């Protein structure tokens, strides 16, 4: 379906990209349209995108191609910082009037130079308009932990610089690990959240465990047949794991030296499976008790006694453990 604003983006007849976004935003009221329906919060892509991103606590967000700022405003919280960029002065002026707690800037993202580190960089429906989009993804990978991309493409003869969703996925996988991928068939739209690869684990392999439970890295596990070890896990020397009732350590977990993880405690007759989720870190000389789950990306400080579950994306430490902040 051809919308009124499409003539400012693509020349359908001559099959070429125009990209006159400023005129497009200037003429919204005059011609009676909302560009890309970006204020329609009922849009399925919006709803799913919000559900994906709202699970995280991103402290520093950069939105490239923010338009009039409606979607990124949904991610604003009291304790986070959002910078939002668009090439159109008209779009940015409208955004500043509506959302005063976001730092909106007029910039052409084709020439953008990144100097900060971000928790999340978003590119919603913009990659088709960036000629050197592959170079941009590489640059972004050097400045963010997460990237979120949405892009719908015409089913026949896409006119932008991205021709297939497979192109995007292939390029993203060079620098990031895809965590969530959704495809909305009715809109031919890809929604993708990915986390930056940790290159120190690129050639990682599971440690060998001898008959006494000792590994080649100097940590010990009893009942190793009940240990599930994710890719890229780093466990410090002299740590001890009792996996009698099962221990699952997911991808890219870091555990310091001299830590103890128990699935059975004879002192108080407690037992249960321990799960340490992806990206969590546990500081040196910490103890994890039976039945505990440590959440995704959680940071547990050194010398902590973990006797209750630790949620995703928090900082926790103490004896006993207490939640001290969010990530």
DSSP string, 105-127: EE--GGG----S-EEEEEEES-G
Distance CA 65, CA 85 (A): 6
Q: Specify the CATH number of the domain 201-326.
A: 2.160.10.10
Q: Given this model, what pLDDT does residue 210 score? A: 94
Question: Residue 192: what pLDDT?
Answer: 96
Helices 165-175 and 133-141, axial angle in degrees (round to 10): 30
Average of per-residue pLDDT across 180-207:
85
Q: What is the CATH number of domain 4-197?
A: 3.40.50.150
Query: In this structure, what are the phi and psi dihedrals at residue 249, rounded to the nearest 5 degrees?
Result: -115, 115
* 201 has pLDDT over 70: no
CA–CA separation, 4 vs 34, rounded Å?
9
Of the candidates 80, 89, 90, 158, which has an alpha carbon nearest to the alpha carbon of residue 125? 158
Please say if the pLDDT value at position 14 is more than 90. Answer: no
> Are the CB atoms for 282 and 255 separated by under 8 Å?
yes
Instruction: List CB contacts of 210: < 8 A, sequence separation 6 or more.
Output: none
Identify whether the C-beta of residue 92 lies closer than 8 Å to the C-beta of residue 106. yes
The pLDDT of residue 304: 97
The phi, psi pair for 45, rounded to 5°, reads -60, -40
* Predicted confidence (pLDDT) at residue 116 exceeds the cutoff of 70: yes
> Taking the C-alpha atoms of 32, 38, 40 and 44 in order, what is their torsion angle to the nearest 10 degrees?
140
| pLDDT-based confidence at residue 144 (cuts at 50, 70, 90) | very high
Task: Tell me the average pLDDT across 46-62.
Answer: 93
Regarding beta strands 260-262 and 274-276, do their DSSP bridges make them parallel or antiparallel, or are they unpaired? unpaired
Predicted confidence at residue 301, as pLDDT, reads: 95
- The residue ranges of every structural domain in the chain are 4-197, 201-326
* DSSP-derived pairing of the beta strands 322-326 and 314-317: antiparallel
Return d(Cα 250, Cα 296) in angstroms, integer.
Answer: 9
Report d(CA 4, CA 139) in Å as an integer: 34
Query: 108: Cβ–Cβ under 8 A, 6 or more apart, which residues?
Result: 87
* pLDDT grade for 200, boundaries at 50, 70 and 90: low
pLDDT at 78 over 70: yes
The pLDDT value given to residue 79: 87
Question: Is the pLDDT reported for residue 48 higher than 90?
Answer: yes
User: pLDDT above 70 covers what percent of the chain?
Assistant: 98
Asked whether residue 155 carries a pLDDT value surpassing 80, the answer given is no
For residues 86-102, average pLDDT:
96
**How does residue 199 score in pLDDT terms, banded at 50, 70 and 90?**
low
Specify the pLDDT at position 218.
93
Is the pTM value of this prediction over 0.95?
A: no
Please determine, for residue 115, whether its predicted confidence score (pLDDT) is greater than 70.
yes
Q: What is the mean pLDDT of residues 182-197?
A: 92
Return the higher-pLDDT residue of 317 and 17.
317
252, pLDDT greater than 80? yes
pLDDT at 156: 72
Burial classification of residue 316, based on how many CB atoms lie within 10 Å of its CB (0-12 exposed, 13-18 middle, 19 or more buried): buried
DSSP 182-215: EEETTTTEEEEEEEE--GGGTT--PPPB-TTSBB
Cβ neighbours of residue 46 under 8 Å, at least 6 residues apart? 40, 71
Q: Which two tokens stand for residue 109?
A: 């993202």
- Is residue 307 scored above 80 in pLDDT? yes
C-alpha Rg value of the chain to the nearest Å: 24
**What confidence category does residue 2 fall into, taking pLDDT thresholds of 50, 70 and 90?**
confident
139, pLDDT greater than 70: yes
Torsional sign, CA 27, 28, 33, 36: positive
DSSP for residue 256: -
């Amino acid at each position: 379906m051809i919308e009124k604003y499409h003539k400012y983006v693509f020349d359908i007849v001559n099959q070429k990209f125009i990209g006159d976004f400023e005129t497009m935003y200037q003429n919204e009221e005059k011609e009676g349209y909302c560009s890309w329906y970006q204020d329609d919060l009922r849009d399925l892509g919006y709803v799913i995108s919000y559900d994906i991103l709202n699970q995280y606590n991103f402290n520093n967000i950069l939105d490239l191609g923010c338009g009039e700022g409606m979607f990124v405003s949904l991610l604003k919280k009291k304790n986070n910082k959002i910078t939002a960029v668009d090439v159109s002065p008209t779009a940015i002026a409208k955004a500043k009037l509506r959302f005063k707690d976001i730092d909106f800037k007029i910039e052409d993202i084709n020439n953008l130079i990144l100097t900060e580190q971000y928790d999340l960089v978003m590119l919603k429906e913009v990659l088709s308009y960036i000629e050197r989009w592959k170079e941009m993804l590489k640059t972004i990978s050097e400045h963010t932990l997460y990237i979120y991309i949405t892009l719908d493409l015409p089913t026949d003869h896409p006119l932008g610089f991205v021709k297939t969703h497979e192109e995007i996925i292939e390029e993203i996988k060079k620098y990031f690990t895809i965590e969530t991928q959704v495809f909305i068939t009715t809109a031919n739209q890809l929604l993708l959240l990915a986390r930056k690869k940790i290159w120190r684990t690129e050639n990682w392999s599971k440690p060998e465990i001898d008959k006494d439970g000792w590994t080649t890295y100097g940590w010990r596990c009893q009942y190793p047949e009940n240990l599930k070890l994710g890719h890229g896990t780093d466990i410090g020397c002299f740590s001890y794991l009792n996996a009698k009732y099962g221990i699952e350590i997911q991808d890219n977990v870091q555990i310091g030296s001299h830590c103890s993880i128990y699935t059975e405690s004879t002192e108080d007759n407690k037992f249960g499976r321990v799960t340490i989720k992806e990206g969590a870190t546990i500081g040196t000389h910490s103890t994890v008790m039976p039945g505990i789950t440590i959440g995704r990306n959680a940071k547990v400080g050194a010398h902590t006694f973990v006797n209750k579950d630790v949620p995703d994306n928090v900082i926790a430490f103490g004896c006993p453990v207490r939640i001290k902040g969010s990530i």
